[in-house]
Amino acid sequence: MGRAPCCEKVGLKRGRWTAEEDDILANYIAQHGEGSWRSLPKNAGLLRCGKSCRLRWINYLRDGVRRGNISKEEDDLIVKLHATLGNRWSLIASHLPGRTDNEIKNYWNSHLSRQIHTFRRIYTTVRDTTITVDIHKLSAAGKRRGGRTPGQSPKSSTKKKQPVPEPVTNAKGTSSTASSPPQSDEARSAVVDPDQNQPNNSISVSNTSDGPCSEDGTWPMVMDPVVDQTDALEANCTVDQHQMGLWEVSNPMDQIGILEDESEVQALLSSSVTAESGIDPGGLSQVDDLLDMDWEGFASNLWDQPAQNGLLQPAEPQVATGSESDELESFVSWLLSDAC
DNA sequence: AAGTAGATCAACCGCCTGGCG
DNA sequence: ACGCCAGGCGGTTGATCTACT
């Protein structure tokens, strides 16, 4: 037997709220106050579930609810808070006056989760070439096919909402499901084809430095990756893909750089291709693969893959031990300060 | 002009938690 | 200590819209 439903759904209206329903709900709450959500619909004469009434009130009708575009400051704050708190939307919303958890959640899922993730502080690999790609510019190169552009609102919608950028959190720890941005199967397969165990996108590399490697010496060891939100994805793309089907991600500190456009990427790739890799030194097809690669899926995939064989080990959350709530609050305070 | 793909976001669903008897 | 209940929360869905082919 399942849990009893929160309310009797038979005969209840669902879907979008009408202006009349909004008026009824707002008037009732103005007279009787919030609370008693289960009995509210009946008392107010609404054919709605109590939860639906509560949601409508909290997210749209309540005083102080801000509508409209999310500012850059709010955007930044959401990014910071999400990096710390994960998908604890209500907690994040509590730091943004007038914003609701639902709005922030939607904003994150539709805007920020698509933004670029940066992987940094990763030890060097045995054979690597660091390629830092400005994903924003690459992804803007004509892949979008349709859809409402950010900031646009449906004409029929009476409420306006806004867009924001997105952060990435280290999922391990504080929030079990919070960290990985939404990722489609399609995006996932763009990184690895499990059936063929072959990378769908290959990039050649040259051996530029020594560094830790796996015990058998076959695969470069990648340690202590930290996901951070920036404007670029800094990824060391090696030709090889280890057995787990993951791209190596590395970031030798002495090789970091930002490639501003495709020509720079091509130039770098062309110069770093080695005959040993078995890839055409011209590298153009590989460059195309790089440019077509689903970087977001690539980034997300890192968190989706368990840290098997120790190749990828997500860093511990920055807020963890002791009195969690106290530390969390103090860390959030720090985030909200000018310290960062 | 029509069809399609993808973006947006309001609303729903089900689980979790805390209060109370 | 236990069970029930209401409210809260995060994940997901689906309608609607626009850009693109």
Domains in chain A, please, with CATH? 19-61 (1.10.10), 117-140+161-310 (no CATH)
CA A10 to chain centre: 38
- Banded model confidence at residue A8, pLDDT cuts 50, 70, 90: low
The residues close to strand C, meaning Cβ under 7 A, are A 4, 6, 15, 35-38, 50-51, 54-55, 58, 87-91, 101-102, 105-106, 109, 142, 144-149, 152, 154-157, 175, 177-178, 182
Question: Which residues sit opposite A235 in a β-bridge?
Answer: A131
Which two structure tokens, joined as six digits, stand for A302?
């890192």
Q: How far is CA A232 from CA A36, A119, A137, in A?
A: 48, 9, 9
Question: Which residues sit opposite A118 in a β-bridge?
Answer: A228
The C1' atom of C21 and the CA atom of A114 lie apart, in whole Å, by 24
The β-bridge relationship of strands A233-236 and A130-133 is antiparallel
- Which nucleotide's C1' is closest to A104 (Cα)? B9
- Hey, is A199 helix, strand or coil? strand
- DSSP E strand boundaries for A66-155: 117-120, 130-133
Q: Rounded to whole angstroms, how far apart are CA atoms A317 and A85?
A: 10
Chain B nucleotides with an atom closer than 7 Å to a protein C-beta? 4-15
Q: Is the pLDDT of residue A42 over 80?
A: yes
Q: What is the mean pLDDT of chain A?
A: 51
Mean pLDDT of the region A267-288: 37
Q: What percent of chain A has a predicted confidence (pLDDT) above 70?
A: 30
pLDDT at A126: 30
Which two structure tokens, joined as six digits, stand for A131?
């390629």
pLDDT digit string, tens, across residues A147-160: 344 333 333 333 33
Of A226 and A300, the one with more pLDDT: A300
- Banded model confidence at residue A328, pLDDT cuts 50, 70, 90: low
Comparing every residue's Cα with the C1' atom of nucleotide B10, the nearest one is A16
